[in-house]
């Protein structure tokens, strides 16, 4: 006959071992389940980002081609513009833009007309070239604009408020080709960026919501 004390000790040891194994098993199952739950969340973030980019590109495409895209063809010098060749590289909001006082002389809007783009409701003026430019008058008294500074600034002017906001600033190597208003608040601009100075510049396009300060940058490939 096995003594009762020894039997109880063996029983307790077996119970403890069984309980320990059970806890380890539960822990492993819980850890695996946790990892499985985390992975879809990470994938979801990536999927959401891709979906957002696709949605933005789709909406911009509609705006571009519903608002006379001929200027785009002329600027790129391609007869048929294939939107699939524009790749959305970045999109961002900029809440740090600040209005600054802008008190131009009375001839400013006339003299710089060739680099100014008025919005349909005249609330804004897109300035793609007055920064660092030089006004030159010919013998007939007509004014033409010539580049001076190697840097380029793109600004949004508020003629009624006499304010301005700097939207973009570029160093040497970037040239703004043209800009258009797609509606009363959306701007599209084309530019050339020669990063390496090899005379084979990249063609870039920015679309900007002037009211919400929302920027999108595309590259033509």
* Residues whose CB falls within 8 Å of the CB of residue 87, separated by 6 or more in sequence, listed in order: 218, 219, 221
For residue 185, what are the domain limits? Answer: 67-220
Same domain, 92 and 13: no
* Residue 56 shares a structural domain with residue 95: no
Residues 202, 96, single domain; the answer is yes
Handedness of CA 221, 82, 207, 133 (dihedral sign): positive
How much is the pTM?
0.75
Q: For residue 64, what pLDDT band results from cuts at 50, 70 and 90? A: confident
Around Cβ 143, how many Cβ atoms within 10 Å? Answer: 14
> Which of 60, 91, 82, 88 lies closest to 218, judged by CA?
88
Is 161 found in the same domain as 139? yes
Q: How many CB atoms lie within 10 A of CB 121?
A: 10
Token pair recorded at residue 64: 């571009």
Task: Assess whether 35 and 132 both reside in one domain.
Answer: no
Give the model's pLDDT for residue 162: 96
**Is there a contact between 168 and 154 (Cβ–Cβ < 8 Å)?**
yes
Number of domains present in the structure of the chain? 2
**pLDDT (tens digit per residue) in 3-60:** 444 334 444 454 545 445 545 554 555 554 444 444 455 554 556 788 999 999 999 9
Centre a 10 Å sphere on the Cβ of residue 149 and count the other Cβ atoms it contains: 11
Greatest extent of the chain over all pairs of C-alpha atoms, in Å: 128
**What band does 141 get if pLDDT is binned at 50, 70 and 90?**
confident
- Name the token pair of 13: 């040891």
Average confidence (pLDDT) over 114-140: 91
If asked whether residues 135 and 45 sit together in one domain, one would say: no
| Residue ending a domain, choose from 66, 98, 117 | 66
Phi, psi for 77 (deg, rounded to 5):
65, 45
More confident residue, 97 or 1: 97
> What percent helix, strand, coil does the chain show, rounded to 5?
35, 30, 35
pLDDT tens, position by position, 153-197: 999 999 999 999 999 999 888 999 999 999 999 999 999 998 777
Per DSSP, what are the bridge partners of residue 143? 137
Assess whether pLDDT exceeds 80 at residue 67.
no
Average pLDDT, the chain: 81
Token code pair at residue 207: 């679309």
Residue 1 and residue 25 share a domain:
yes
pLDDT at 16 (0 to 100): 47
On whether both 2 and 111 belong to a single domain, the answer is no
Q: How many CB atoms lie within 10 A of CB 168?
A: 19
Determine the average pLDDT of the residues in 63-77. Answer: 81
Those residues with Cβ within 8 angstroms of residue 159's Cβ, 6 or more apart along the chain or in another chain: 109, 122, 125
Instruction: Report the C-alpha gap between 189 and 167 in whole angstroms.
Output: 12
Dist CA 41 CA 29 (whole Å): 19
Do both 72 and 167 map to the same domain?
yes
């Amino acid at each position: 006959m096995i003594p009762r004390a020894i039997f109880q000790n063996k029983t307790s040891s077996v119970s403890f071992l069984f309980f320990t194994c059970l806890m380890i098993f539960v822990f492993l199952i819980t850890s695996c389940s946790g990892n499985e739950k985390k992975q879809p969340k990470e994938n979801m973030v990536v999927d959401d980002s891709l979906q957002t980019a696709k949605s933005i590109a789709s909406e911009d495409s509609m705006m571009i081609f519903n608002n006379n895209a001929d200027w785009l063809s002329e600027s790129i010098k391609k007869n048929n513009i294939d939107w699939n060749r524009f790749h959305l590289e970045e999109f961002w909001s900029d809440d740090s833009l600040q209005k600054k006082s802008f008190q131009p002389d009375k001839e400013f809007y006339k003299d710089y007309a060739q680099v100014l783009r008025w919005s349909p409701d005249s609330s804004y003026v897109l300035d793609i070239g007055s920064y660092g430019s030089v006004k030159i008058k010919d013998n007939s008294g007509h004014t033409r604009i010539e580049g001076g500074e190697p840097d380029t600034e793109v600004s949004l002017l508020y003629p009624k408020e006499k304010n301005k906001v700097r939207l973009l600033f570029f160093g040497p190597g970037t040239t703004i080709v043209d800009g258009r208003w797609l509606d009363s608040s959306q701007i599209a601009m084309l530019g050339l960026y020669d990063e390496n100075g090899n005379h084979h510049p990249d063609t870039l396009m920015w679309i900007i919501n002037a009211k919400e300060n929302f920027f999108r940058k595309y590259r033509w490939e």
